[in-house]
A and B are shown apart, each in its own frame.
Chain A
Amino acid sequence: MSWAAHDLEPYAIQRHLGGRVAFVPLLIGSYSPDLLSKWFVYGINVLGVEFKADDPVQFHRGWPGIGFTHSLAYGLLVAGLIWGLSGSRIWAWSFLLGQWAHILTDAGDTIGTMLFFPLTTETFGVGAWAYAGQYGRITDAGAYFSGLGFVWDGVFVIYGLLSWRMLKRKYFHDVIVRADPRFWGWMGRRLPETALLALYRASFFYGTTRWFAWLIWAHLVRDFPLDLSWGGPHWIDAAFD
């Protein structure tokens, strides 16, 4: 589970691969494993009725559950569908890279991801930071921003800030639009350039600002103890595979 890396990794990948990837499917791929499931992991309240997975960890990362979205094969399957339906190799390849980046990053927590599903339902992870999604969003945020998870996100925040030139108008036109002229041309017929640029920069803005906001909230507003030891923070009873 990651709180900002999924917003920021696509910019780092784009920066390295330039025009060989299309930004929008890269971003969609990066968000795709959690796109439809996160609300059910944390639970939501609709008109007094709570909807939440009985076993959030099993539902999110396991099988039976929706953990197959965190597998290499799921990325290949959806990328194949994108290729088949749209005929765009760059969209398929970019989606795949984004999805794989997501599941490899999530393999950093104490649960890990079912990388090789359906060959095995075993989860693979390095256990660097505690998985605490089962406690709800707020506690999960406090735990995540007190352990090595936020440090991993911080790598991408710093990398992104150092690579600020990729957020410039010129880079947008020379690299982003040129790699995917069909999508940006279609958008450009509906929105002004200022809006297109804002949309391109939106995930960077969202990932970076919330990283700072959550850090401030966790340690200045609230008092979650910082624990940068492996698998921490250990003040929370993390979920393990």
Chain B
Amino acid sequence: MREAALYLVAAALYIALGVAFPSLLFSWVEGTAFLLLAVWIIPAYVRRLLR
């Protein structure tokens, strides 16, 4: 559930950013990097900080 929520938040954020700055929508590499940041790197960093 928590994982699905992370993906949904990432999707909503990416859509909002893409609408505001369409050039962000051109690159698969940037889209994938955004997803990795949102669902893996940032959550892992936050968990480490909270430990």
Expressed in whole angstroms, the minimum distance between the Cβ of A212 and any Cβ of chain B is 5
Tell me whether B18 and A213 are in contact (CB under 8 A). Answer: yes
Expressed in whole angstroms, the minimum distance between the Cβ of B18 and any Cβ of chain A is 3
Dominant SS among interface residues on chain A: helix
Task: Report Cα–Cα, A198/B28, bound state, in Å.
Answer: 13
Tell me whether B14 and A202 are in contact (CB under 8 A). Answer: no
Q: Is A205 an interface residue (CB 8 A)?
A: yes
Query: A198's contact among B11, B25, B26, B35, by CB below 8 Å, is which?
Result: B35
Q: Is A58 an interface residue (CB 8 A)?
A: no
Q: Is A195 an interface residue (CB 8 A)?
A: yes
Tell me whether A216 and B22 are in contact (CB under 8 A). Answer: no
Chain A interface category by residue count: 20 to 34
Tell me whether A209 and B14 are in contact (CB under 8 A). Answer: yes
Q: Is A217 an interface residue (CB 8 A)?
A: yes
Expressed in whole angstroms, the minimum distance between the Cβ of A4 and any Cβ of chain B is 10
Partner-A contacts on B (CB < 8 A): 7, 10-11, 14-15, 18-19, 22, 25-26, 28, 31-32, 35-36, 39-40, 43-44
